[in-house]
Amino acid sequence: MKLRVDLLPDSHYPDVALVIDVLRATTTAVALLERGAGGLLLTRTAEDALGVRAVRPEVLLAGERGGLTIPGFDLGNSPVEVGEAAVAGRQVVMTTTNGTGAAWRAAQSARHVVLAALINAHAVARHALAVASEEIAIVCAGTDGRVGLDDVYAAGVIAEYLLALGDFQVDDGARIALTMRRGGGDPGEALRGSGHGATLEKLGLGADVDFAAQLSTSRLIPTLVPGDDVPVGALRFLAG
Amino acid sequence: MKLRVDLLPDSHYPDVALVIDVLRATTTAVALLERGAGGLLLTRTAEDALGVRAVRPEVLLAGERGGLTIPGFDLGNSPVEVGEAAVAGRQVVMTTTNGTGAAWRAAQSARHVVLAALINAHAVARHALAVASEEIAIVCAGTDGRVGLDDVYAAGVIAEYLLALGDFQVDDGARIALTMRRGGGDPGEALRGSGHGATLEKLGLGADVDFAAQLSTSRLIPTLVPGDDVPVGALRFLAG
Ligand SMILES: [Ca+2]
Ligand SMILES: [Ca+2]
Ligand SMILES: [Ca+2]
């Protein structure tokens, strides 16, 4: 089995793609499903999200640009805020700066797409190994087209779990992620030491960074489930 | 002063760009100048290199594709081979799979472009700090569009020297490179443990990997020097 870590989204994912935007989109996605959201619909743009609500008025809209809630949306991209919101049974449409784009990119080719974070790292690793037939690719969303230490560190955590579970041929991206995991301090230090973690702290969102730094507190695996009933312009993720 | 490490070539370099293709183009470039080559002309394609020779028959051609010497060229991309070749006083036209493309990319915007490797790491760091006014960007060439551990490790070595010499605001790429430097073993282990290092070993080119892993054995700084006398389709680098 191959293990590949893309420090930024690439293309041609033949098998399993684990998409990471640990600060904060994929962490928030797991938190939403933990709170009982009935499903997530990821759109690339705010316009697409509003388009979904136009035909499905019952959905909640969650999303950020530049770290802040999009005007007119019900929720931002904060896992802490989500933990206090009434989302049980609701479909949530999400759009974020980096994470949703990365999920869309992976979904163009991958057979299995899963949203991964530190809070579901162990569950995601076990799931990936169970469904993979040739390759597990960990896809770091990055921040505005640049490599993010936060995502690479989280990739290293998942890579480390995978290496404990099976035998892999690893690429240089995986070697780099593993070294970051081993030399980058504990998850809180690593996320707070990343450029995007520092930006969130400055925006008063340090509690989100601390939330995202929790290791394997959830067993939920947001899994791409296409279907005729998914609105155009959206990717549907259900709790797996 | 800002310190930025791009794990793959990006764009918009406002100031200093240190281009690294440690296995092997930038190591070979330093070795050629050490042997007394009168200058380097980097072209993106083998056709462009042959075009330069058509108008300047006295030049030597050096280059590889897939690690092997290009048919009809005088030299490959081997720093060890270059050490035994009669290059003194000769202009050498180079074209390689990743390094020359990265240099071209940086040259589109950077005010100062330098070819950097482990063998000239310390000299390059001092030079960069002397000429920079706002940012030093270390540009990793990567391998066929993917991040290469070898280049990231070398970037970490140069970043470490820079941090010893001055105060910098560092980005996530620099933090990752520094962690690779500190957690990646000695230079020989790091380069041999990279995907491209392993490929070169398999091709019987392990001596080149060992050569490239030497730290700061040269004080030469291949520096981009444009001019009216530079052939179209070539970037000229002179010993600085
Ligand atoms: Ca992010
Ligand atoms: Ca995001
Ligand atoms: Ca290379």
pLDDT for A79-125, tens place per residue? 999 988 899 999 999 999 899 999 999 999 999 999 999 999 999 99
Span of A80-89, B20-29, B158-167, B185-194 with lowest mean pLDDT = A80-89
How close B22 gets to chain A, by Cα (Å)?
15
pLDDT-based confidence at A66, cuts 50/70/90?
Answer: confident
Residue A194's closest chain B neighbor by CA?
B172
User: Which pLDDT does position A68 carry in this prediction?
Assistant: 85
User: Which pLDDT does position B68 carry in this prediction?
Assistant: 85
pLDDT digits 0-9 by tens, B31-50: 999 999 999 999 999 999 99
User: Which pLDDT does position A83 carry in this prediction?
Assistant: 83
Whose CA is closest to B20, among B196, B126, B148, B145?
B148
Residue B157 has pLDDT above 90, yes or no: yes
pLDDT digits 0-9 by tens, B103-146: 999 999 999 999 999 999 999 999 999 999 999 999 999 999 99
How many angstroms is it from A67 CA to the middle of ligand 1? 9
**ipTM of model over 0.85:** yes
How many angstroms is it from B57 CA to the middle of ligand 3? 28
Spell out the domains of chain A, with CATH numbers in brackets: 2-239 (3.90.1560.10)
Helices A149-165 + A172-183 axis angle, to 10: 100
Residue B133 to residue B229: CA distance in whole angstroms? 28
From the number of C-beta atoms within 10 Å of its C-beta (0-12, 13-18, 19+), residue A88 rates as: exposed
User: Which pLDDT does position B67 carry in this prediction?
Assistant: 81
Interface mutation target, options B5, B179, B199, chain A, most CBs of A under 10 Å: B179
Residue entry with tokens 């799931």: A127
Q: What percentage of chain A has pLDDT greater than the value 90?
A: 95
User: Which pLDDT does position A77 carry in this prediction?
Assistant: 94
Interface mutation target, options A3, A6, A10, A147, chain B, most CBs of B under 10 Å: A147
Whose CA is closest to A105, among A141, A133, A131?
A141
**Nearest bound ligand to the CA of residue B140:** 3
How close B138 gets to chain A, by Cα (Å)?
14
Residue A10's closest chain B neighbor by CA?
B146
Contacts of B72-80 with C-beta under 8 Å, sequence gap 24+, read: B73/B46, B73/B49, B77/B24, B77/B25, B77/B28, B78/B24, B78/B28, B78/B205, B78/B208, B79/B24, B79/B27, B79/B28, B79/B30, B79/B31, B79/B119, B79/B208, B79/B211, B79/B212, B80/B207, B80/B208, B80/B211
* Chain B residues closer than 8 Å to A147 by CB: 7, 172-173, 176
Average pLDDT over residues B145-170: 97
CB pairs under 8 A between A and B: 61
Tokens of B103: 């240099």
Query: What are residue B137's DSSP bridge partners?
Result: B4, B17
Is B146 in the A-facing interface, judged by CB distances under 8 Å?
yes
List, edge to edge, every strand of the sheet that includes B60-65: B68-69, B60-65, B91-95, B39-42, B235-239, B222-224, B112-116, B16-20, B135-140, B2-6, B169-170
Interface mutation target, options A151, A176, A191, chain B, most CBs of B under 10 Å: A176
Whose CA is closest to A154, among A125, A177, A174, A137?
A177
Is A149 in the B-facing interface, judged by CB distances under 8 Å?
yes
Residue B1 has pLDDT above 90, yes or no: yes
Q: What is the mean pLDDT of chain A?
A: 96
* Chain B residues closer than 8 Å to A10 by CB: 145-146
User: Which pLDDT does position A67 carry in this prediction?
Assistant: 81
* Chain B residues closer than 8 Å to A152 by CB: 172, 176
Residue A146 to residue B6: CA distance in whole angstroms? 8
pLDDT-based confidence at B83, cuts 50/70/90?
Answer: confident
Average pLDDT over residues A203-222: 97
Q: What is the DSSP letter of A16?
A: E
Q: What is the DSSP letter of A114?
A: E
* Chain A residues closer than 8 Å to B143 by CB: 172
Tokens of B144: 């066929």
Tokens of B211: 């050569």
Average pLDDT over residues B56-78: 93
How close A194 gets to chain B, by Cα (Å)?
6
Is A194 in the B-facing interface, judged by CB distances under 8 Å?
yes
User: Which pLDDT does position B231 carry in this prediction?
Assistant: 94
* Chain A residues closer than 8 Å to B175 by CB: 149, 193-194
How close A144 gets to chain B, by Cα (Å)?
12
Are residues A195 and B172, on separate chains, in Cβ contact within 8 Å?
Answer: yes
User: Which pLDDT does position A44 carry in this prediction?
Assistant: 95
User: Which pLDDT does position A233 carry in this prediction?
Assistant: 93
Are residues A172 and B147, on separate chains, in Cβ contact within 8 Å?
Answer: yes
User: Which pLDDT does position A84 carry in this prediction?
Assistant: 86
